[in-house]
Amino acid sequence: MTEIIMIPTDQLFHHPENPRLELGDLTELTESIRQNGVMQNLTVIPGHRMTKEEWVKEARAEGADKVSAEASYRPADAWTSEGYTVVIGNRRMEASKLAGLEAVPCVISDMDHKTQISTMLEENMQRSDLTVYEQAQGFQMMMDLGYTAKDISERTGFSETTVSRRLKMAELDKKKFKQAVRNQITMDVLDKLGQIEDLKKRNELLSEFGENNFDWKLNRAIKVQKASKVKPKALAMLEEAKIEKLPDKEKYSYGKYRNLYHDTCELDKWDGKRKFIPKLDAEHDEKILYSMDETDITFFAKPKKTKGETNRRSPEEIAEEKRIALAWKTAERASETATELRRAYVKEMKVSPKNAMEMLQWAMLAAMASMLTYNTPTQELKKKVPITSYQTDEIIEQVRKWIMEMPQSGWPDVILMFFEGDEPPHKIGYYDGSKYLMPKHKTNRKMDLCYEWLTQFGYKMSDEEIQMMSGQHSCFQKEAEK
């Protein structure tokens, strides 16, 4: 039988490699120990690693000066046989000291270093109050000890998928990772960040977490990465079809080619197989040229000269046509990105007793705003609600049943659906008009209310969203950029 002995609390020390960095609130545990004592013994090993202060104090007692004592400190060499290091029971030890106990029950173990680390990790990894940073670093420590992802899964109870995700997070810059956790970064955001394969880019984005443009930049980085993976296939398809690249002088200055705006291929959405080269109508010559940027392939063609035409389009007319096509493309891309950002945020919104009444008020406001535009179910509503009738009374009954059975956690998604309306992408810039004219900024009170709701519940608008809402975005500018 293992012997339990009472060890003075002033001889107990925290293990320097314990993965649990924060002990959390000890108030309840301290009070329980004060009233009932320590109900479960601690597991300790003889000796402890001296802190720098302890090392310097001992070195100076032996005659060394302060500078040389500080310079000689090496954590790996600072082990002393005095005292005991706690392997299991750090919270109990600290609470016991706060409760004023002079000694606590302990079992002294002779486990080696690997077993110490493994024991602490297995005990702590199963705690629900560990931060994601502590979990990630703990799993990495187990990997460093020679365990596989499968071993870690079996020992901690986490799935192999979760272990792999945490190990991916452990690659991040520790300082930036810890700061992001303090700023309450969510698991969904970290998983999304993990999609970025370039570690340098991942850390660069992580350092911007909490800033207004973080979500926009993260989405953009993922789009660019997706596009880069299929670019070689896209170029091969263009080469096979004998489509030549548009000369830069034609792209950035006056020229003779017309931008086929509606045939743009968005590479981040392309499956790498679908044919994307457009077929020309009767208004254009058969020759097509392309231009490629980080995420898109844009096509150009030369307009045919109509019978009886005496004057060709002026360079100014050609430049204006290109500017208009780019403005529409920019406006729709911005709206698409804004839709993604709103939906990602709403997915993480929580309804609690503290904000339930406000959320309900916004739901009613959103429903009223929706009624101003639609008298029939939108496509988005049909996707979510099992509507099987075209009769108004029956539709209302089916929607009522769906809402009454919905948990509070589903409210934010419904509110957003009311505000956004029908099929995406939803016009963040409220733009309108002919595709042959510059997009026109148009006020949309529903989207104003949508952002008012989101920002009240913590949403941070990106610069692009703000510019699109105010009509100050470049796609609305009247003068061409120099």
Tell me the per-residue pLDDT of 172-223, one tens digit each, with 9 for 90 and over. 888 898 888 888 888 788 888 888 999 999 999 999 998 888 988 999 999 9
Please tell me whether residues 95 and 138 are part of one structural domain. no
Q: Which of 220, 249, 271 is the last residue of a domain?
A: 220
CA distances from 402 to 223, 389, 407 (A): 35, 14, 10
Question: What percent of the chain is predicted at pLDDT more than 90?
Answer: 18
Residues 31 and 154 in one domain: no
**213 within domain boundaries:** yes
Average pLDDT, rounded, for the chain: 81
- pLDDT tens digits, residue range 418-435? 777 655 555 555 556 566
Q: How confident is the model at residue 369 (pLDDT cuts 50, 70, 90)?
A: low
Indicate the SS3 state at residue 16.
coil
Angle in degrees, 0-180, between the axes of helices 27-36 and 90-98, rounded to the nearest 10: 70
Q: Is the pLDDT of residue 400 over 80?
A: no
Give the model confidence (pLDDT) of 450-472 as tens digits: 888 899 888 989 988 888 888 88
Residue 10 has pLDDT above 80, yes or no: yes
Tens-place pLDDT, residues 55-84: 888 888 888 888 888 888 888 788 888 999
- The reply to whether 364 and 449 lie within a common domain is yes
Domain assignment present for residue 327? The answer is no
Tokens of 365: 């406001």
Q: Average the pLDDT over 14-32 and give the result.
A: 82
Dist. CA 436–CA 3, nearest whole Å: 87
Task: Find the mean pLDDT for residues 281-303.
Answer: 84
Same domain, 465 and 416: yes
Mean pLDDT of all residues in 341-363: 85
Average pLDDT, integer, range 333-352: 87
Asked if residue 319 is part of any domain, the answer here is: no
Q: Is the pLDDT of residue 479 over 70?
A: no
Same domain, 140 and 87: no
Region 284-292 average pLDDT: 84
Domain of 64: which CATH number? 3.90.1530.30
- The answer to whether residue 413 is domain-embedded is yes
Question: Is there a domain that residue 214 lies in?
Answer: yes
The confidence score (pLDDT) of residue 480 equals 40
Question: Do 205 and 262 share a domain, yes or no?
Answer: no
* CATH (domain of 167): 1.10.10.2830
Q: Does residue 323 fall inside a structural domain?
A: no
357, 463: one domain: yes
Q: Higher model confidence: residue 62 or residue 319?
A: 62
Q: Are 345 and 465 found together in one domain?
A: yes
pLDDT of residue 170: 86
Q: What local confidence, expressed as pLDDT, does residue 336 receive?
A: 86
Q: Domain residues for 29?
A: 5-110
Greater confidence, 192 or 481? 192
Q: Please check the confidence at residue 115 and state whether its pLDDT lies above 50.
A: yes
Residues belonging to the chain: 482
pLDDT for 253-280, tens place per residue? 445 777 787 788 999 999 988 999 888 7
Query: Is the pLDDT reported for residue 106 higher than 90?
Result: yes
Which stretches of 295-429 are DSSP H helices? Answer: 315-348, 356-371, 379-384, 392-404, 411-420
For residues 242 and 209, state if they share a domain: no
pTM above 0.85, yes or no: no
Classify residue 275 as left (phi > 0), alpha (psi -120 to 50) or beta: beta
Query: Does the pLDDT at position 50 exceed 60?
Result: yes
- pLDDT recorded at residue 428: 55
Q: Same domain, yes or no, for 340 and 468? A: yes
User: Tell me: the pLDDT tens digits for 119-152?
Assistant: 887 777 666 566 778 778 888 888 887 888 888 8
Instruction: Please compute the mean of the pLDDT values over residues 15-27 and round it to a whole number.
Output: 78
Instruction: Give the pLDDT confidence score for residue 255 in this predicted structure.
Output: 57
Kindly state whether residue 38 falls inside one of the protein's structural domains. Answer: yes
Burial tier of 192 (Cβ tally within 10 Å: 0-12, 13-18, 19+):
middle
Q: 281, 301 in Cβ contact below 8 A?
A: no
Neighbours of 259 (CB within 10 A): 23
Residue type at 81 in one-letter notation: S
The answer to which of 7-16, 29-38, 249-258, 317-326 has the lowest mean pLDDT is: 249-258
On whether both 344 and 464 belong to a single domain, the answer is yes
Is the residue at 164 inside a domain?
yes
What total number of domains does the chain contain? 4
Inform me whether the pLDDT recorded for 229 exceeds 90.
Answer: yes
Judge if 216 and 242 occupy the same domain. no
Residue 231 pLDDT level (bands cut at 50, 70, 90): very high
Does pLDDT of 440 surpass 60?
yes
